[in-house]
Structure 1
C-alpha cells in the first residue's frame, strides 16, 4: 500500500509557533520534519517521541550555510509538500540610531538572509505543487507602520518581504505556492505577554490559511485569518 501522507519541513520548530505548527500538522495527518538549534533537548523531541515515527527532529543552525547544505543532503531522498521557515529573533526595541552594528547584522542575517538561503537551497526538495513559506509579520508592512517602534525587527521583516518578492519574480514560472505568513500578535518571546493571541489560537489559522492557498501560484502576503496584509 502506497503511503500518501504529506510531508512538512518546519525550520525553527523547537518552541512556541514552530512547535505549535509541528503539532498542528501532525494532528492533520502529515509527516513532519522539524529543526532545532544544537543538541539541546526541546519540546519538539518530546513531541517526536509521542508521534509514532511521524515526526523527525533535525539539527540546523540556519545562519550557517554549511549546515543548510548538510540538511539538504540528508533530506535529498525526501519530497516536501511544505517548506516553511519560522525562525526569527529580536534584540529589543532600540531606536535605529542606537543599534550597534553587530546587532544589526545579527538580526538581518537571521531574519532575512538565512531564511532565503534555506528556501533557495532546499527548493528542489519541494514538490511542483507544494508550498514554500516564511513567517513574516505585519510589522514588516511599510503601509501599516504608523506608530514606529521595533525599528530593527520591522526592518528585518520588510527586508525578508522584499527578498521574497525578488525570489518570486526570479521564479515566476514556478508552479509552487509562495507565502509570507503573518501569525497575528502572538504571546511569544517576540510578541510579548500583552499580545492578543495565544499560540494555540494562532497556529490553526496559519495552517488553514496555508492549506487554502495551496495551488495558488505566485506570492501571497496573508495573515492567520486568510486576510491580505498590505505591503
Structure 2
C-alpha cells in the first residue's frame, strides 16, 4: 500500500495477548501501527516491530501516570491517527464487593476506567474526523446482562468505563468520529482464564472486522467481536 494512503492505528497496551494480536492484525492489513508497552522489558510487540519495521513501531507509556500520557501525546503531536484503541484491564480475583480492600478498588478502577478515559481525552485530538476511537470493554460491563453476579469489582470497573465513554460521547454530539466500546468475548488470556471458550485467534479477527464495519458511523456503539450490539 502506498505510504500516502496507509492508515495509522495507535494500540495502547499491545505487549501481549489481545493487544499484541490487534497490532499484528492491523500490520498484516497494511496499516502503520504504533503499539505501546509499559516499562523497558522486551515484549512480543518488540519482536513484531523487528520482523515488520515498515509497519510497526513501539512506544512506552504507563497509562496510569498522567505525565507519561502527556509525554506520549507530545511525541505523537505530528501524527494523524485513523484508529486509537485502548486495550487495558486488570482483575484481582472474585471477591464480594464488601470484601474488596480500598487499595484494590482504587487500583482496578484507575486501570480499567479512569486511565483509559484519560488516554481518550488526551490523545483523541490526534484522531482524524473520519477515524475511530475504541476502548476494550466487556459484556461484564453490561448491567442488564448481569443476572448471576460475581466478579463484582471487575464488572463495576467496566460499567464505569462504559458510562465514562458515554459521557465523552454526550459532550460531543456533533463529533463525526466512530466511538466504540468493544467486547472481545470471553477469551483464554491471563485475565480470561483457561476455561474461556475463545482463543485470541478466534476473537481478534472479529474485533478488527467489527471496528472496520463501524468506520464512518458516528456516535457511540457498544458491540462485540461478532458485530452484535451489547445491551447496556
TM > 0.5: yes
Aligned length: 231
The residue aligned with 2:208 is 207
The residue aligned with 2:26 is 25
Measure, in 2, the Cα distance between the counterparts of 1:172 and 1:38.
37
What's the secondary structure of 1:132's corresponding residue? Answer: strand
Measure, in 1, the Cα distance between the counterparts of 2:213 and 2:27.
18
The residue aligned with 2:143 is 142
- Alpha carbons of 1:2 and 1:157: their partners in 2 closer, same or farther (altered >3 Å)? closer
Measure, in 1, the Cα distance between the counterparts of 2:102 and 2:123.
30
The residue aligned with 2:168 is 167
Measure, in 1, the Cα distance between the counterparts of 2:172 and 2:134.
14
> Aligned Cα RMSD in Å?
0.8
The residue aligned with 1:194 is 195
The residue aligned with 2:86 is 85
The residue aligned with 1:59 is 60
What's the secondary structure of 1:3's corresponding residue? Answer: helix
CA drift at 1:222: 0.1
State how 1:1-231 maps to structure 2 within 5 Å.
Answer: 3-231=4-232
What's the secondary structure of 1:201's corresponding residue? Answer: helix
Measure, in 1, the Cα distance between the counterparts of 2:116 and 2:10.
13
CA drift at 1:190: 1.1
- Alpha carbons of 1:106 and 1:2: their partners in 2 closer, same or farther (altered >3 Å)? closer
CA drift at 1:52: 3.0
Measure, in 2, the Cα distance between the counterparts of 1:57 and 1:88.
20
Measure, in 2, the Cα distance between the counterparts of 1:70 and 1:87.
19
CA drift at 1:53: 2.6
In structure 2, list runs of 5 or more residues that go unmatched. Answer: none
Kindly provide the CA deviation profile for residues 207-228 of structure 1, in whole angstroms up to 9, marking residues without a partner as x. Answer: 0000000000000000000000
Measure, in 1, the Cα distance between the counterparts of 2:89 and 2:215.
24
TM-score by length of 2: 0.98
Measure, in 2, the Cα distance between the counterparts of 1:229 and 1:65.
31
Measure, in 1, the Cα distance between the counterparts of 2:60 and 2:173.
31
